[in-house]
Amino acid sequence: MKFIGLLVLFITVESFAANDSCNLSKSLTDFLSNYETLKSNVENLNKKVNRQPYVCMGNSPFTKWARYEPNGIQMNIDTSKCHFSKTPAYFTSLGGMGSHYGIIGTTSIYFATSTKFQIFLRDYWNATSGTLMKVTADNHWNVNWIGVEENN
């Protein structure tokens, strides 16, 4: 950026020096003032862009479910691929081919860190952990997740 600014300044000085009717001193002052304003605007824009949150997402397959006795299931979700520097806000949904309309806990996050979190599920009818494990496998229940890390 400095090289381009100096090149523009040189060309400006040369063109004004060739034209005796121009006030070179005032033109250079105006040019430098405009350059400083532009530079300040670019710096402010960079500050705004750098404050955008970091977002990472994934999908944990149905094969990761484990029993949580007597009538629940749990999943440990690994988010280390995201390289979060601090614990983000996690958001989840439960996907699959069916039978997940009566599930409780799909958006409840537990033990969140920068590299993992857990969710625990049960259904409205208090099915056993074994029954829920069969239903997850039959219907391919997966956890869709998003982590959002605020950038200060």
Residues 77 and 18 in one domain: no
Question: How many folded domains does the chain comprise?
Answer: 2
Per DSSP, the residues of 91-112 read EEEEESSS--TTEE-TT--BS-
Same-domain check for residues 46 and 58:
no
Segment 23-78, tens digit of pLDDT? 656 666 676 677 777 777 777 776 666 678 999 999 999 999 999 989 999 999 99
Same domain for 81 and 99, yes or no, is yes
Specify whether 104 is located in the same domain as 91.
yes
**What end-to-end distance do the CA atoms of the chain give, in Å?**
26
- Give the domain-ending residue among 12, 29, 50: 50
pLDDT of residue 107: 94
Domain of 77, CATH number, reads 2.60.40.2080
CB 91 within 8 A of CB 119: no
**Rounded distance between C-alpha atoms, residue 64 and residue 34, angstroms:** 59
Separation of alpha carbons 145 and 105, rounded Å: 14
Per the structure block, which two tokens stand in for 119?
Answer: 């969710």
Residues 139 and 68 in one domain: yes
Same domain, yes or no: 42 and 71: no
* Parent domain of 60: 54-149
Q: Which residues pair with 67 in a beta bridge?
A: 73
21 phi, psi to nearest 5 deg? -80, -10
Do 142 and 88 fall within a single domain? yes
- Is the per-residue pLDDT at 7 higher than 80? no
145, 59 contact by CB (below 8 A): yes
Task: Say if residue 14 is in the same domain as residue 86.
Answer: no
Are 64 and 118 members of one domain?
yes
Interatomic CA distance for residues 104 and 99, integer angstroms: 12
In terms of domains, do 89 and 46 share one? no
Do residue 67 and residue 130 come from a single domain? Answer: yes
Residue showing tokens 């997940």: 100
Q: Looking at the structure, do residues 17 and 68 belong to the same domain, yes or no? A: no
Tokens standing for 81? 């691929």
At 72-120, the pLDDT tens digits run: 999 999 999 999 999 999 999 999 999 888 999 999 999 999 999 999 9
